[in-house]
Structure 1
Amino acid sequence: MKTKKILAALALTALLAACGDSSADTPTASSGSSAASGVTGNLTVLAAASLTETFNQIGKDFEAANPGVKVTFSYGGSSGLAQQINSGAPADVFAAASPATMKTVTDAGNATGEPTTFVKNQLVIAVPKGNPKGIKGLSDLADPKIKVALCAVEVPCGAAAKKVLDTAGVKVTPVTYEQDVKAALSKVKLGEVDAALVYRTDAKAATADVDGIEFPESSGAINNYPIVTLKAAPNPAGATAFVAFVQTEPEIKVLTDAGFQKP
């Protein structure tokens, strides 16, 4: 009888041990998987032309942080992008170069929530490398011998230029009005004009071809850059995540390193 009890106890011990081993070999719900971000699919961002270099980098950073996401950017003059949104162009996020252009989208009811200002930007005078005309300040642009390019007044860089020139009382007759800041800068890079009023960030991004001349009057027309998710966003989760991502410290550093200022 004693022997039978011992054998039964040993059998029970072996059974419990086997169950324990089986439990140890069974993966938990979290093993072999990573935390899902919840962000997948394609994301379309419409952004002011002056954000091109920085947003290209931020887009790569966002894709790296969210595997499986593909970000596509469309850059241009903020007013034109706003018109596209209000005409039904499919997009998830809008980043504008001025509150005024953003307002056309929010007034039309095409944004979700309130836009957030994430950076600001300031004008400089862009001249060909070496400054062959010896331009020193804003008043030099009034010289009829100086060929000047300005952004069209409908776009933020043009509105800022008009405000600066009007406030300073400087009369400039440009040889061309361009639809975004990159186009105005291109005229300088190609040698088609002697100067253009562009954002500090654009001049800094093109230092191989142009010099940026700071002028004190530009402090009176600093542009705030708002960003917002769009009401008809095909990827609302991705849009919300991207807007938040742009405002994280590492991505703000990408922007400030390029010459943007914190709001």
Structure 2
Amino acid sequence: MNKNFIKIVLFAVLIAAISGCAQPPADDANTTEAPSEEIKLKIFHAGSLAVPLSELEKEFEALHPDVDVQRESMGSVKAVRQITDIGKKGDVIASADYTLIPSMMYPTYADWTVRFARNDMVLAYSTEKSKYADEINQENWYDILRKDDVVYGFSNPNFDPCGYRAVMVFQLAELNYGDDMIFDDLILSQTSITINDENGSYLIKTPEDMEPNTKRVSIRPKSVELVALLEQGGIDYAFEYRSVAVQHNLGFVDLPEKIDLSSVEYADFYKKVQLETVDGNTKTGKPIVYGISVPKNALHPELGLEFVKFVIGAEGQKVFKKVGQPPIVPAVGSGNLPGALQGLTTVKPSSLMVYSGAGMRKPMDEIGSLFEQKYGVSVNYNYGGSNTLLSQIELTETGDAYMPGATMYIDTAREKGFVDYEQNIAYHVPVIAVPEGNPAGVTCLNDLTKPGVKVVLGDAKAAAIGKLGDKLLEKNKIFDAVNANVAARAATVNELVIYTCMGTTDASIIWKASLIGTKSETDIIEIPTEQNIIKVIPIGTLTFSENKEYATMFVDFVASDEGRAVFEKHGFTAYPNPKYE
């Protein structure tokens, strides 16, 4: 064998041996630290928050090198549903309408909300490609949109707050400009969206398929999708948030404050317009306020909370100012607010004071409990006769809401300047109530005039049922004859129920719903519709409420499908109903 080859082999073996000796022991190798795994922080947010949150994402990641912020931008309703309906895990939820968090997520998916920024609606356009861009202004924009060669757009009202706010703006514009065809020309005739007008309040309904006339109108899932269409010349105008128009260097019509949903000063005007989405939820016109929270199913709740603190803190405030979304300083918290946020926010009221007719005690007690569960604000009631309560309101000028047994009382309250926002809830239907077994044999109103029949009625000066009972008797021309048989007048409808259950009266005129639960003690005699007087039960916010926002939320909650269902459960007929119209 070649000696040189043997030397080479021996040299290679020696090198390998030396290299092997140089390796660390196996135990030492196992103690080497592996790089830490990156934490993915998941955020679902409104499309109009994409720009500020993108900037804050970079700053947050710089402060937390082991965190990867992953954002999903979409319409706010859709963002919430990623968690509530689809079941995705989210560490932060940020909505362009803060009320979506309590209304859609409380109490199962979240239990607190922080309001942190504002915005307003504008009509955006491309200065280079939009038709009539050099002509359009605050006074003629709706006439420009009426032109046959103009295409305008808004986002889907069923998915995106910017969409339902855009549709509200059309109706607010009618009221502001005194042109009662704006909504008809630009919404009703171009889509399948509908609207109902009731005493100066408007309810818009958006079906699942809005059937837009695509030659004139473009409806997209979220408002930021319309930006690309503007930039490409696919549409001429789009309703956007001011911040979105500023961030994308678009031209825009600066709409009047009275219709752009920006000003607390015009909050009562905005309330005139409501919109019911396809899922049955009703949105009320109000100033645009963003909300943020950490969902209960968050994988990283502590880190999610850190991100929220970053958003509402000094750095976040600076970014939001820069991009045209004024921050709320300090931010406003509500619900079961984490202790870590309490120093950075102001807090919602602990309770509301509501004056309610005694006949609505059962449903209102239940609604108060539901409202507290959903919004974290308790409701204290002062029950009594409608007129008595009105006198108390006039005397004290305190409280948050008033719910009398008939609209005549809220009309008076409005005339006196006590009520500034109203909703109709249910019907009060008078019936004749008699003790179980009907010992006096009463079968109709005229039987109350018979000699020896002992009648107890409500006090017309204190209770709605008293005033209504007298009018009903006058309508049927039997007031004097029945009044001769009246043994007592009760201050509240609940006292009338007690009189009847105890058998101390032969008959009384009582609200039908007030007799629920007394079947074993009373009998009911229906009054024919042509002889009867059916009353509507309203509720309104009080002008001197110190908790205006939550007072309005309570009124809207009572008027919601959930609130009306409670009234029906307790024997009332929910408003509206063709039977009583």
Task: Measure the CA separation in 2 of the matches of 1:127 and 1:99.
Answer: 27
**Equivalent residue for 2:509?**
197
**Equivalent residue for 2:373?**
64
Instruction: Write out per-residue CA displacement over residues 148-194 of structure 1, whole angstroms, 9 at most, x where no aligned residue.
Output: 00112233212221222122222202111111211122211222211
Give matches, 1:79-94, under 5 Å: 79-94=387-402
Task: Measure the CA separation in 2 of the matches of 1:110 and 1:186.
Answer: 32
**Equivalent residue for 2:446?**
139
Quickly say closer, same or farther: Cα 1:244–1:219, change in 2 above 3 A.
farther
Q: Percent identity?
A: 26
Give the total of aligned pairs: 248
Q: Which one-letter code corresponds to 1:145 in the other structure?
A: G
**Matched-pair contact (CA < 8 Å) for 1:156–1:223:** no
Task: Measure the CA separation in 1 of the matches of 2:506 and 2:516.
Answer: 17
Q: Which one-letter code corresponds to 2:534 in the other structure?
A: I
Residue 550 of structure 2 corresponds to residue 238 of structure 1: yes
**Equivalent residue for 2:415?**
107
Task: Measure the CA separation in 2 of the matches of 1:28 and 1:177.
Answer: 60
Task: Measure the CA separation in 1 of the matches of 2:512 and 2:494.
Answer: 12
Quickly say closer, same or farther: Cα 1:23–1:207, change in 2 above 3 A.
farther
**Equivalent residue for 2:150?**
none
Instruction: Write out per-residue CA displacement over residues 19-75 of structure 1, whole angstroms, 9 at most, x where no aligned residue.
Output: 8455349996545369956854111111011101110111111111123x2211111
**Equivalent residue for 2:520?**
208
Task: Measure the CA separation in 2 of the matches of 1:124 and 1:83.
Answer: 27
**Equivalent residue for 1:222?**
534
| Long gaps (5+) in structure 1 | 1-16
Q: Which one-letter code corresponds to 1:176 in the other structure?
A: A
Structure 1 residue 217 displacement after superposition? 5.2
Quickly say closer, same or farther: Cα 1:105–1:177, change in 2 above 3 A.
same
**Equivalent residue for 1:128?**
435
Of 208-217 and 246-255, deviating more is: 208-217
Q: Which one-letter code corresponds to 1:146 in the other structure?
A: V
Alignment partner for residue 482 of structure 2, among 172, 177, 189?
A: 172
Quickly say closer, same or farther: Cα 1:103–1:211, change in 2 above 3 A.
same
**Equivalent residue for 1:42?**
351
Partner SS state of residue 100, structure 1:
helix
Of 208-217 and 143-152, deviating more is: 208-217
Task: Measure the CA separation in 2 of the matches of 1:111 and 1:239.
Answer: 11
**Equivalent residue for 1:10?**
none
Q: Which one-letter code corresponds to 2:523 in the other structure?
A: D
Structure 1 residue 104 displacement after superposition? 2.3
**Matched-pair contact (CA < 8 Å) for 1:153–1:162:** yes
Partner SS state of residue 131, structure 1:
coil
| Greater relative contact order (CA < 8 Å, ≥ 6 in sequence) | 1
**Equivalent residue for 1:8?**
none
Partner SS state of residue 206, structure 1:
coil
Q: Greater Rg, structure 1 or structure 2?
A: 2
Structure 1 residue 103 displacement after superposition? 2.1
Task: Measure the CA separation in 2 of the matches of 1:161 and 1:53.
Answer: 22
**Equivalent residue for 2:498?**
186
**Matched-pair contact (CA < 8 Å) for 2:423–2:559:** no
**When the two structures are superposed, what TM-score results if normalisation uses the length of structure 2?**
0.40
Q: Which one-letter code corresponds to 1:256 in the other structure?
A: E
Quickly say closer, same or farther: Cα 1:118–1:250, change in 2 above 3 A.
same
**When the two structures are superposed, what TM-score results if normalisation uses the length of structure 1?**
0.84
Task: Measure the CA separation in 1 of the matches of 2:501 and 2:529.
Answer: 24
Partner SS state of residue 482, structure 2:
coil
Greater share of residues in helix: 1
Task: Measure the CA separation in 2 of the matches of 1:89 and 1:218.
Answer: 39
Q: Which one-letter code corresponds to 2:423 in the other structure?
A: T
Structure 1 residue 89 displacement after superposition? 4.5
Task: Measure the CA separation in 2 of the matches of 1:64 and 1:217.
Answer: 39
Quickly say closer, same or farther: Cα 1:234–1:145, change in 2 above 3 A.
same
Instruction: Write out per-residue CA displacement over residues 3-30 of structure 1, whole angstroms, 9 at most, x where no aligned residue.
Output: xxxxxxxxxxxxxx54845534999654
Partner SS state of residue 574, structure 2:
coil
Task: Measure the CA separation in 2 of the matches of 1:107 and 1:51.
Answer: 24
**Matched-pair contact (CA < 8 Å) for 1:45–1:71:** yes
**Matched-pair contact (CA < 8 Å) for 1:164–1:217:** no
Q: Which one-letter code corresponds to 1:53 in the other structure?
A: K
**Matched-pair contact (CA < 8 Å) for 2:539–2:555:** yes
Structure 1 residue 218 displacement after superposition? 7.0
Coordinate RMSD, CA, aligned: 2.8
Task: Measure the CA separation in 1 of the matches of 2:488 and 2:556.
Answer: 38
Alignment partner for residue 117 of structure 1, among 389, 400, 424?
A: 424
| Long gaps (5+) in structure 2 | 1-34, 40-64, 70-89, 93-293, 309-332, 336-346, 576-581
Structure 1 residue 257 displacement after superposition? 2.4
Of 35-44 and 120-129, deviating more is: 35-44
Alignment partner for residue 248 of structure 1, among 560, 576, 581?
A: 560
Q: Which one-letter code corresponds to 2:394 in the other structure?
A: N
